Amino acid sequence: MIKIIGDIIKIDEDKGYFYIKVPIDTKVRDKRCKVSFIKETMITDKQRAKIYALIKDIGLYIGYPLGVAKMVLKMEYMKEFDVEDFSFSNTTKENAIRFITFLVDYVLKHNIPCQDSLIVRCEDIDHYLYSCLIYKSCAICGKNAELHHVDVVGTGRDRTSINHLGLRAIALCRKHHTAFHTMGEYEFNKKYHCYGIKLNEELCKKYDLPYEKEINEC
C-alpha cells in the first residue's frame, strides 16, 4: 500500500491515474500515480483468504497439493452449480459467497478437520447453522454434535409429543451444549456469534422428532 502525501486534486478513471498536490520540500519525482479502481461487487481479500484456507485444509485431508485441490474443487463446484470457470482474483462477491458455502458444506459432509472454526470462515451463517444440523456437526468446534433445543421443551412440554416444527435448535457437542446451559442463551450467542435455526420437516425427520404439517386455510 502506498501512503499518499498531499491532496488529491484530479482523478482520471479512464486512464487509471490521479494527481496529487505535495509540499514543495517533499522529494517526489512524479506527482502522477497509477491506481486501480475496484468495484464493490468484486471478491474481497478476506473472501479470497477464506477460500484458500478451506482449500488448503481439504487438500491436506484428501492428500492433494493445493493446486490440485483447487482445480478439483472448482470443477465439482462448476458442475454442481452449472457455472463457467472463474478466477479468484476477479470473480464477484456473490460467486465467492456461493463457493465458500460450497466448500464449508464439503468440509461438514466429509467431516474434515480445519485449522479454524467454520463459523468464522463461512459467509452465509444461516446456511452454515442449518448444515451443522444436517451433518450433526458442532457449530462451534466441528465435533460430533447433538441437537440442542433453544426453545425449551420438557417441564410440561413432552418432547415426544409436541410439535417441533418451527422450534429453534442448534447443533452442539456435549462440551458446548453444557456451556450453553451454564452461560445462558444471551451470553452464549454473544461469545460464539451463533443462534438457533427453526426446525423444518427435513430436520424433524433427521432427528426423528414429532411434527405436524401446517395447514394453509383458504
- The tens digit of pLDDT for each residue in 105-118 reads 999 999 999 999 99
Average pLDDT, rounded, for the chain: 85
Report phi then psi at 7, rounded to 5: -110, 140
Average pLDDT over residues 187-191: 94
> What's the chain's Rg over C-alpha atoms?
24
199 three-state secondary structure: coil
Specify which residues 137 forms β-bridges with: 144
pTM beyond 0.85, yes or no: no
pLDDT over 90 percentage in the chain: 72
- The domain spans of the chain are 1-37, 41-123, 128-213
